[in-house]
Amino acid sequence: TPTPTPTPIYPFPKPYEPKPEPKDRKANTDTKDRVVDIIAKTEDPVEQKETKIIVPEPTLPVDFKDINGTSYEAAIRDLASRGILKGTGEGLFEPNLSITRSMVVELFYRLSRDKELTGHMNPHTDVKEDDWFYTSVLWATEKGIAKGTDQGTFLPEKLVTRQEMALFMERFLSFLQLQGEITKPFQYGDKNLIPEWSIQAVEAMDGYGLVTGHDAQIYGPETTISRGELAAILQRLIQLVK
C-alpha cells in the first residue's frame, strides 16, 4: 500500500541570516495549511565562527513531550536549541513525520550563506512564483543541488527517500566545496537493491556518517526520511562543517 502523502507542512520562517533575502523572495500570506515551522525564527541568535553554513549557538530552551527516550532525542534537542528545527505545536516535535523534497531544498537554502540566485528561469511546471519554496527550488536547481523530472516537474511534495537524501546531501557538500572522510565500509544486505543512479552518493554519505542506513543490516534506499532522522543528519553535517 503506497505511503499517503501527509498534509503539506509550511516550514521555514526567516531565521537569522547575514545577507538579505533575494528581491524575488515571495511572502506566503495564505496561512490555511500552516501546520509547523521546521526552521525557527530566533530573535537574537548567537552565531558561531563563520562557516559555509549558518550555525547559531545552542542557546534556546527545548521542551518537547514526544522525544524523550527516542533515538533522535539528542539531535532534536541540539538542532532545536540552535533555532534550526522547531516543533509542530502543542509541545510536540513529531519525529516520525516524513519530510518532502521542497522542505529539503528550503532547509539547505536557509542554512547556506551563499543565497545568490543569478538566474530566474523556472524549469519546473509545478513550482509557481507564489509558492513558499519558489526561490529555494530555483536556487537549488541553479546550484545543482536538486533536479527535476524529465517531464519538467519538481514534485515538491514528494516524500524524500533515503537514497534521494544521500544524493541531495552529496550535491550540497559539493556546492559547499566540502568533503568528508570515509569511516566505514558499505556492508548492507540490500546493497543489490540500490540503483546505479544513487549508489555513489549512498556509499559516500553513509561512509561519511551523514545519511546512514535504516539499521545496521539494511540500508533501505526506498524508506523515507523522518523529521527525527533529519535532525540527526543535520547534526552530523554541522559537526563536519565545524
pLDDT digits (tens, 9 = 90+) for 38-85: 444 434 444 445 678 999 899 999 999 999 999 999 999 999 999 888
What is the model's pLDDT at position 30? Answer: 40
What is the b/e burial string over 68-87, where b = at least 16 CB atoms within 10 angstroms of the residue's CB? eeeebbebbbbbbbbbbbbb
Quote the CA–CA distance of 205 and 82 in Å, as a whole number: 24
Q: Residue 25 pLDDT more than 60?
A: no
Instruction: Please name every residue paired with 53 in a beta bridge, in sequence order, or none if there are none.
Output: 112
pLDDT digits (tens, 9 = 90+) for 162-221: 999 999 999 999 999 998 899 999 999 999 999 999 999 999 999 999 999 999 999 999
The type of residue at 132 is: W
**Residue 240's Cα: distance from chain center in Å?**
16
